Structure 1
Amino acid sequence: MAGIVRRRDWPFGDWPDVFGRNFPAFFRGFPEMESLVDREGMKLEEFVDEGTLVVKAEMPGIDPEKDVEITVSDNMITISAERRQEEKVEEKGGYRTEFSYGKFVRTLPLPAGATEDDIKASYSDGILEIRVPVDKGKAEAKKVPIQKG
């Protein structure tokens, strides 16, 4: 049985963990940077299924028609979502929540040969699934001839 490997797309390894869980607060107001370190709001799975890149995002309690946007630009796919806190519960003994509210953004590179026009997305049981067809013919490297001058 193969071991489980945790894949990180953060280029600096465990660097943010040195500062603890509150380190992402440093980037509040900068969504592009925030998405690099804040992994609590949107957990992802990525795998290839019969020539299709599949990305699954965990998004319980989100209305996909109102609170989710998926964009593709420059071979990157960006998933933006917002979980709204509809009501505040005030109880005699206090109020505590571990739910994450606010805007969550993740940007992922698309593989070579991804056909951006055929991307499909669906949402079921708190999971957003994005399917990106990959054309293996386009993914192969092409040799460029060199002319002598």
Structure 2
Amino acid sequence: MFESTDTPSPIRVEEVIDGKNLVVRAEIPGVDPDKDVEITMADGFLHIHAERREKEEHKDNGNFRSEFRYGSFSRNIPLPDGVKEEDIKASYTNGVLHPRMT
């Protein structure tokens, strides 16, 4: 009935070459990019890891209802040769993370 896995769910991505730049669009809605997203680089891969923690509580006439959604998501994206960590810049808009490698 309940599925349990020890591995994070994958993040859906789109990769685009824009001139000499690799631009990635990673769909991660409902996260705080400053607290819940980690971007690292190792062994020629860009690693994106995010955790979603949402909780809603409703109190009405003595009744209490709580709803929560949480999960861990990650994705490894192969990088072009020669990309250095300082070449990676990222922004987050409307639930989409935009790492850019120059």
When normalised by structure 1's length, the TM-score is: 0.55
Deviation at 1:118, TM superposition (A): 1.2
- CA RMSD, 1 decimal: 2.5
| Residue aligning to 1:131 | 100
Deviation at 1:81, TM superposition (A): 0.4
Identical counterparts, % of pairs? 47
Residue correspondence of structure 1 range 6-85 to structure 2 within 5 A: 28-29=5-6, 31=7, 34=8, 38-39=9-10, 42-85=11-54
CA distance in structure 2 between the partners assigned to 1:48 and 1:115 by the alignment: 17
When normalised by structure 2's length, the TM-score is: 0.77
DSSP-derived class of the 1:130 partner: strand
DSSP-derived class of the 1:66 partner: helix
Task: List alignment gaps of at least 5 residues for structure 1.
Answer: 1-21, 90-96, 134-149
Bigger fraction of residues in strand: 2
| Residue aligning to 1:112 | 81
DSSP-derived class of the 1:62 partner: coil
